[in-house]
Structure 1
Amino acid sequence: MTTSHSLAAEGVTLGYGDRVVVESLDLAVPPGQITVIVGANACGKSTLLRSLSRLLSPRAGRVVLDGKEVHRMPAKKLARTLGLLPQSPLAPEGITVLDLVGRGRHPHQRILSRWDDQDDAAVAAALEATRTTDLADRPVDELSGGQRQRVWIAMALAQQTDLLLLDEPTTFLDASHQIEVLDLLTDLNRDRGTTIVMVLHDLNLAARYADHLIALADGRLHGAGAPSEVLTEERVRAVFGLDSRIIDDPISGRPLILPIGRHHVRPQPVRELEGDRG
């Protein structure tokens, strides 16, 4: 694995039909780091990720990988460098876990080449890392939502790309499995130098696991940098419409966002007025 690949959006405008979702966006993904994209619903997070992976062509601007436009690269060549776990992927009916995870090896298969020990090892490692080895022979459509999500992550890991894009990888997972998956991705980044870009809804998980944070609102960039730089009370209010207090997380030392609900504001004591005394 290498940390030298560069991925960037240059003046990108994205949309569907007559609707523009992302407009004139410039951003660079730091190589070898974990980048997390945050923002309110429908702000363009998933749309941006689809464009970075070339699933969606820009209306203007371009997405470049190592200086080359991704939409002009051969699909299989791109898939050997960049992997994507989309939101709510669909598995072929009746496919087993082992077969689905094995499809992550497709970009590495060449004409007339055979499945080899390296492919077996990659699939076994992906199953073990996601704790899905015991599910290998089961049909994917019989699994729970959480189990299915871990299997999809295993398929992405089996692809063994230098860059990995994940759209809400903690969907359907309970709290313990969310941490387990994010720790797994952190290990992948630290041990192999894999550049990771993911969309997360939970701001505090984003702050804890991101090296680089991207905040979107209404299809525009509202901040990019270290979590401590991006997550200010003013920006959380502007991006999410949420009043909050931000303190240092006692475990990670990263920003910890404490939402302020109007029913949870401690009432201030009423002071007596001079004219009301005795």
Structure 2
Amino acid sequence: MTTSHSLAAEGLTLGYGDRVVVESLDLVVPPGEITVIVGANACGKSTLLRSLSRLLTPREGRVVLDGKEVHRMPAKKLARTLGLLPQSPVAPEGITVLDLVGRGRHPHQGLFSRWNDKDDAAVAAALEATQTTDLADRAVDELSGGQRQRVWIAMALAQQTDLLLLDEPTTFLDVSHQIEVLDLLTDLNRTRGTTIVMVLHDLNLAARYADHLIALADGRLHASGTPAEVLTEDSVRTVFGLDSRIVEDPVSGRPLMLPIGRHHVRPEPTSSPNHMQGTSR
């Protein structure tokens, strides 16, 4: 694996039908780091990820990988460098876990090449990393939502790309498995240098795991940088319309967002004559 691949968006405008979702966006994905995209619902996070992986053609601008437009690259060549786990993927009916994860090896299969020991090893490692080895012979449509999500992540890992894009990889997972998946992706980044870009809804998990944070607001880039630079009270108010307090996470030392709800503000202490100290009898 290498950390030298560069991925960037230049003047990117994206949309569906008559609706513009992302407008005039410029960004650079730092190579070899974990980038997390955050923002309110319908702000363009998933749309941006689809375009970075060339599933969505820009109306204006371009996505550039190592100096080449991704929409002009051969599909299989791109798939050997960049992998995508979309939101809510659908598996073929009746397919087993082993067969689905094995499909992650498709970009590495040439016209005349056959399945080999390297493919077996990649699939086994992906199953082990996601704790799905014991599910290998099960049909994917028989699994729980959390189990299916881990299987999809295993397929993405089996692809063994240098860049990995994930749209809400913690969907359907309980808190314990959310942390396991994010720890797994961090290990992949730290040990293999895999550049990771993912969309997360949980701001505090984003701040804890991101090296680089991107905040979108109304289809535009509001802020990008380290979690400490991006996750501020002003940014949370602008991006999410939410008042908050930002404190230091006692576990990670990263910023921790505490939302302020109308019914959860600690009242100021009040005094009354009935509670005065030293009241005479």
Question: TM-score, length-normalised on structure 1?
Answer: 0.97
C-alpha separation between the residues in 1 aligned to 2:271 and 2:66? 64
Which residue of 1 is the match for residue 37 of structure 2?
37
Q: C-alpha distance in 1, partners of 2:80/2:48? A: 20
Describe the superposition over 1:170-205 as per-residue Cα deviations: whole angstroms up to 9, x where unpaired: 000000000000000000000000000000000000
Matches within 5 A, 1:1-278: 1-270=1-270
Give the fraction of aligned pairs with identical amino acids, expressed as a percent.
89
Rounded Cα–Cα distance in structure 2 between residues aligned with 1:74 and 1:13: 23
Deviation at 1:112, TM superposition (A): 1.6
SS at match of 1:222: strand
- Once residues 200 and 188 of structure 2 are traced to their aligned partners in structure 1, the CA distance between those partners, rounded to angstroms, is 18
Q: Which amino acid aligns with 1:13?
A: T
Other structure's SS at 1:90 match:
coil
Pick closer, same or farther for the CA change 1:24–1:271 going to 2, 3 Å: farther
CA distance in 2, matches of 1:195, 1:114: 28
2:111, 2:231 → 1: CA distance? 49
Distance between the aligned counterparts of 2:173 and 2:36, measured in 1?
18
SS in 2 for 1:171: coil
Q: Which amino acid aligns with 2:203?
A: L
What secondary structure sits across from 2:112 in the alignment? coil
The DSSP-based 3-state class of the residue aligned with 2:42 is coil
- Quick one: distance in 2 between partners of 1:262 and 1:88? 34
Structure 1 runs not aligned, ≥5 long = 273-278
User: Match of 2:2, as an amino acid?
Assistant: T
- The offset of 1:271, in angstroms, is 6.9
- Name the SS for the 1:256 alignment partner: strand
Note the C-alpha offset of 1:67: 0.4
CA distance in 1, matches of 2:118, 2:138: 23
Give SS of 2:250's match.
coil
SS at match of 2:253: coil
Shift of residue 268, structure 1, vs aligned partner? 1.7
SS state at 2:20 partner: strand
**Where does residue 277 of structure 2 map in the other structure?**
none
Partner Cα distance (1:54, 1:111) in 2: 23
TM-score (norm 2): 0.96
Instruction: Write out the 4+ residue segments of structure 1 that deviate beyond 4 Å after TM superposition.
Output: none
> Which residue of 2 is the match for residue 275 of structure 1?
none
Match of 1:276 in 2: none
Q: CA deviation at 1:269?
A: 3.3
Mapped to 2, the partners of 1:270 and 1:102 lie a distance apart of 66
C-alpha offsets along residues 206-257 of structure 1, whole Å, 9 cap, x if unaligned?
0000000000010000000000000100110100111111111011000000
